[in-house]
Structure 1
Amino acid sequence: MSTSTIYPVYKVRFKLSIQDPDMVPPRYHTILFVQTNEQGPRSGTKHHVTGDIVTGMHYEPSIIQDPETDENFFSKELIGNTRALNYPKNWNDILKSLPAPPKQKAFNRDTMKTEPVKTWEPLTFYEADEPRRPLIKCTEWIENQAVPVLINAGLIQDTRG
């Protein structure tokens, strides 16, 4: 691979088996996919956060085959390119430094449901008619944190115009 090699960068969405009742559907598991073809045609690395908002999430890159062959594949959108020279070390360094979505829900013994938390100390839940802070999951992390930071660092050359 030459240092002038360019890899396409996609935002990929996968269908969820269970929707979060506290978020407006439909929701998807959203990742960044860098197609390197190193493990076969249309293979590459997915960059995403995993876990949940009851225990907290963490950044996790991993090699995958063509995401379009996954039974839960929903969509793939080209968002730019990245240079092989910067990949994957610079990507991983930056993405590891971003705060992943934290714990945002807990089990409420009064309602016997897992609900968004208003405050952790002391543990307080929202009242039924009270406005709530928006929940942050993988999609928000990708769209509001990862993509802008990677573009600003010059690691994704934005092709969306």
Structure 2
Amino acid sequence: MATSQIYPVYKVKFRLSIQDPDMYQSRYHTILFIQSNEQGPRTGIKHHVTGDIVTGMHYEAVSVDDPENDENFYSKELIGHTRALNYPKNWNDILKSIPAPPKQKAFNKVTMRTEPVKTWDPLTFYEAGEPRRPLIKCTEWIEDQAIPILINAGLIQWRHERIAGADD
């Protein structure tokens, strides 16, 4: 009997050239990498949001070589597998439906810095020492939104689970 093909799903992090001064821990650009070619050079598709929180971000899916070959590669964690059937269409349909991180910063003419925005209409910045909403970037989009939604949709399954529709 033929086995339905499955692809490994990785959460991959890349070093940033510049850290955000408004975020107090080290940050990485975080993506999901689906390795669709195991024969020869490892290639696949990266799913991520790109852009910045001054202009807003957008979802993107791009064919890439093995992320471990990137000079900014930091880490790669296997988080599960996905069925090759209907990939990447089902993934793209779901990920496009998740709102990407919006504009969250603007240039403050008083301090002459780009800062997190408290309200947009009217444009208001936080006062010194005032509690701030956490900034949402690629890592939060991947870890807090994309991965849970993909798991709930059955598109990411753990290795020890039977992949639905796959023969044993």
Same fold flag (TM > 0.5) = yes
Q: Which residue of 2 is the match for residue 150 of structure 1?
A: 150
For 1:34-70, what per-residue CA distance to the aligned partner results, in whole angstroms no more than 9, with x for missing partners?
Answer: 0001895211000000000000000000000010000
On the 8 A contact 1:81/1:159 being kept in 2, the answer is: yes
Residue 73 (str. 1) matches residue 64 (str. 2): no
Change in Cα spacing, 1:33 to 1:160, as seen in structure 2 (3 Å) is farther
Root-mean-square deviation over aligned CA pairs: 1.8
Partner-residue secondary structure (3-state), 2:37: coil
Instruction: Say whether the 8 Å CA contact 1:3–1:85 is kept in structure 2.
Output: no
Contact 1:38 1:44 in 2 (8 A): no
Q: Does 1:63 align with 2:63?
A: yes
Question: Residue in 1 aligned with 2:52?
Answer: 52
Aligned to 1:35: 35
Compare CA radii of gyration and give the structure with the larger one. Answer: 2
Q: Which residue of 2 aligns with 1:25?
A: 25
Q: From the superposition, tell whether residues 158 and 38 of structure 1 become closer, same or farther in structure 2 (CA, over 3 Å).
A: closer
Instruction: With the length of structure 2 as denominator, give the TM-score of the two structures.
Output: 0.91
Contact 1:86/1:155, CA 8 A, preserved across alignment: no
1:58-117 Cα shifts (integer Å, max 9, x gaps): 000000001000000000000000000131000000000000000000000000000000
Q: Is the 8 A contact 1:3 1:83 kept in 2?
A: no
More displaced stretch, 20-29 vs 72-81: 20-29
Equivalent residue number for residue 137 of structure 2: 137
* Displaced runs of 4 or more, over 4 A: none
1:125-153 C-alpha deviation (Å, 9 max, x unpaired): 00011000000000000000000000000
Structure 1 position 24, deviation (Å) = 1.8
Q: Which runs of 5+ in 2 are unaligned?
A: 162-168
1:42 is matched by which residue type in structure 2?
R
Unaligned runs of 5+ in 1: none
- The secondary structure found in structure 1 opposite 2:31 is strand
Q: Identity of counterpart residues, as a percentage?
A: 80
Equivalent position of 1:82 in the other structure: 82
Question: Separation in 1 of the partners of 2:63 and 2:20?
Answer: 27
